[in-house]
């Protein structure tokens, strides 16, 4: 009668010893380099003054805040949702130029630094009051292949803007993307409301100075007008002249325009209305790259040890 209990005690001790060995192994196991598809992305923000327009309501909240505040709020949420191993950096654009602040860095080990630097981005870092969306997008597509990166593929682009240009670029002056097709993948994110809304005016200290008026903002792209003929009353052959809207000092999301240039540049387009929209944008499959990253596999021997303890 005592043989079976004794045999079981020996087996139980062996199981406990195996569990202890697995726990020790789990504690000593270093991270292992594995190749996994994760996001490697440069997020480029529009920091022109139209992004101060207060018509953004994330998740349909009643209180409207500035478009840039919405973007930063949503990006902070998306950054917290990104898995370890993913890489991200910030860039800004205004006028015709995009400036990338740093090469993409691993999000978990640099999360606090990324959040701190994001908080500092506003209209005061801009070098021009307005923006040329097409030109800035071309600049981003040209710059990203030059950004240092670990994988053989170029980092993905998330280009965030309201699409507002003052004045809108005339059709004949629009930028084209043929030279950059296929070189950079990414997403254009549109932000802002559908109704024309006044643009606040601030000084460099953040003091509110009122709103931009019609006389403060060019109402049409004079470079898009046809030259006059030497014959009185006759114009040169060409496209019809652009017509001034008279509302360029007011702003709204130019979604049709952003969808147009996204299609021309072979990029995705998404609209920001919820924080989840930014999370989805930063986790888009087009941004993922096969990166060799440190992977914690200690959970495997730890789980096996727990199973053995339950058996014992």
Residue 312 covered by a domain: no
Whether the per-residue pLDDT at 60 is higher than 90: the answer is no
If you compute the radius of gyration of the chain from its CA atoms, what whole number of angstroms results? 27
- In the prediction, which pLDDT does 87 show? 93
Identify the bridge partners of residue 87 per DSSP, sorted by sequence position: 40, 106
Whether the per-residue pLDDT at 80 is higher than 90: the answer is yes
- In the prediction, which pLDDT does 228 show? 45
DSSP label at residue 130: S
- In the prediction, which pLDDT does 131 show? 83
> What interhelical angle do 67-81 and 111-119 show, nearest 10?
180
Residue 135 covered by a domain: yes
Least confident residue range of 132-141, 170-179, 189-198: 170-179
Q: How many domains does the chain have?
A: 1
Nearest to 221 by CA among 266, 176, 174, 184: 174
Q: Label residue 310 by pLDDT band (50, 70, 90).
A: confident
Nearest to 278 by CA among 143, 82, 36, 63: 82
Residue 64 covered by a domain: yes
- Quote the domain boundaries for residue 247: 36-224+243-291
- In the prediction, which pLDDT does 238 show? 46
pLDDT in tens, 196-235: 999 998 887 888 888 888 877 777 765 544 444 444 454 4
Query: For residue 177, what is the domain's CATH number?
Result: 3.40.50.410
The pTM (predicted TM-score) of the whole model is: 0.79
Strongest mean pLDDT among 16-30, 131-145, 282-296: 131-145
Whether the per-residue pLDDT at 26 is higher than 60: the answer is yes
Whether the per-residue pLDDT at 161 is higher than 90: the answer is yes
What 3-state DSSP class applies to 216? helix
- In the prediction, which pLDDT does 114 show? 96
Residue 27 covered by a domain: no
pLDDT in tens, 123-154: 888 887 778 899 999 999 999 999 887 657 89
Residue 303 covered by a domain: no
Residue 11 covered by a domain: no
Which residues have CB under 8 Å from 307's CB, separation 6+?
none
- In the prediction, which pLDDT does 150 show? 66
Residue 269 covered by a domain: yes
Least confident residue range of 61-65, 139-143, 187-191, 204-208: 204-208
Identify the bridge partners of residue 12 per DSSP, sorted by sequence position: none
Which residues have CB under 8 Å from 93's CB, separation 6+?
44, 45, 46, 47, 99, 131, 136, 139, 140, 159, 161
- In the prediction, which pLDDT does 208 show? 86
Beta-carbon count within 10 A of 281 CB = 25
Q: What is the mean pLDDT of residues 69-94?
A: 94
Which residues have CB under 8 Å from 229's CB, separation 6+?
235, 236
Q: Whole-angstrom Cα distance, residue 140 to residue 92?
A: 9
Alpha-carbon torsion, ordered 26, 27, 29, 30, to 10 deg:
140
Residue 230 covered by a domain: no
Whether the per-residue pLDDT at 159 is higher than 60: the answer is yes
Please, are residues 80 and 110 in contact by the beta-carbon 8 Å criterion?
no
DSSP label at residue 120: T
């Amino acid at each position: 009668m005592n043989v079976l209990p004794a045999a079981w005690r020996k087996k139980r001790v062996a199981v406990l010893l195996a569990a202890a060995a697995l726990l020790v192994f789990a504690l000593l196991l270093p991270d292992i380099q594995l190749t996994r598809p994760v996001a490697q992305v440069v997020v480029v923000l529009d920091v022109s003054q139209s992004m101060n327009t207060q018509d953004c309501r994330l998740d349909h909240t009643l209180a409207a805040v500035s478009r840039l505040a919405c973007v930063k709020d949503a990006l902070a949420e998306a950054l917290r949702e990104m898995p370890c191993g993913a890489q991200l950096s910030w860039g800004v654009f205004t006028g015709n130029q995009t400036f990338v602040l740093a090469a993409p860095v691993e999000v978990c080990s640099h999360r606090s630094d990324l959040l701190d630097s994001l908080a500092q981005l506003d209209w005061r870092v801009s070098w021009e009051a307005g923006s040329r969306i097409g030109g800035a997008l071309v600049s981003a597509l040209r710059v990203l292949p030059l950004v240092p990166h670990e994988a053989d593929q170029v980092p993905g682009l998330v280009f965030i803007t309201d699409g507002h240009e003052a004045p809108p670029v005339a059709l004949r002056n629009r930028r084209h993307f043929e030279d950059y097709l296929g070189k950079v993948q990414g997403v254009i994110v549109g932000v802002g409301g559908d109704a024309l809304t006044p643009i606040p005016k601030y000084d460099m200290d953040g003091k509110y100075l009122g709103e931009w008026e019609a006389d403060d903002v060019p109402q049409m792209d004079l470079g898009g007008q046809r030259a006059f003929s030497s014959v009185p009353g006759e114009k040169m052959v060409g496209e019809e002249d652009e017509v001034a809207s008279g509302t360029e000092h007011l702003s709204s999301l130019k979604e049709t325009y952003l969808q147009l240039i996204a299609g021309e540049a072979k990029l995705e387009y998404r609209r920001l209305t919820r924080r989840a929209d930014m999370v989805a944008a930063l986790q888009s499959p087009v941004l993922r790259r096969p990166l060799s990253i440190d992977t914690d596999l200690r959970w495997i021997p730890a789980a096996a040890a727990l199973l053995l303890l339950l058996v014992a």
